[in-house]
Structure 1
Amino acid sequence: MTEQGDWEREFDHRWAESAAHKEPSARARMLAARWRENPPDPAPFRADPEPVRRRAGSWASTAVVVGCVVAVMVLIGFVQFHSAH
């Protein structure tokens, strides 16, 4: 058999995917062994521990950002006005 044929046989992914039995990964085996001895506590899917409260300073930070944008626009206008004269 040619070397190319050996290469194709060694790395034939279709053959590997069609295997009747697939061995679990090392991590899956490790977790299964750990959970057999000490099962994890049940937890709801993506549950928040408590409701998230809105921050009181959200409007203040928005005002600061808008103020900075306006200040930069005024500064650019001032510089362009003085460079035109």
Structure 2
Amino acid sequence: MADSQQDDHEREFDIRWADAAEHKEPSARARMLAARWKHDPPGPVPFRPEPDHVARRHRRSGWVSTVVVLGSVAAVILLLGYFRFTAP
């Protein structure tokens, strides 16, 4: 009895058997998207954005974030010095 249960278990989860199937059913998400796109196909989407736009945005945001971080550190140092100086 135990051998037949083990054989059933091995047969049920045999990945080679599943990969060898002639017809593979698409996932639920793939079926949903296929049905949606059949009536309303998606528009074209560029693979990559314009390189100039990306380069300018990253360059500017890098400097802005650096200034914000350094300004915050300077403000904390000044506040700690002020409170230490005025504390009794």
Q: State the SS of the aligned residue for 2:53.
A: coil
Q: Distance in 1 between matches of 2:18 and 2:65?
A: 59
* Cα distance, 1:12–1:60 mapped onto 2, change above 3 Å: closer
Amino-acid identity (%):
57
Find 2:13's aligned residue among 11, 14, 22.
11
**1:61: which partner in 2?**
66
Q: Distance in 2 between matches of 1:38 and 1:7?
A: 43
Find 2:30's aligned residue among 18, 28, 31.
28
Q: Structure 1 runs of 4+ off > 6 angstroms? A: none
CA-CA distance at 1:21 after TM superposition: 0.9
- 1:16 alignment partner AA: A
Q: Where does the alignment leave 5 or more consecutive residues of structure 1 unmatched?
A: 69-85
Q: Which TM-score applies when normalising by structure 2?
A: 0.58
Moved more, 34-43 or 52-61: 52-61
Q: Where does the alignment leave 5 or more consecutive residues of structure 2 unmatched?
A: 75-88
CA-CA distance at 1:46 after TM superposition: 3.0
* Cα distance, 1:32–1:60 mapped onto 2, change above 3 Å: closer
Question: Larger % of helix: which?
Answer: 2
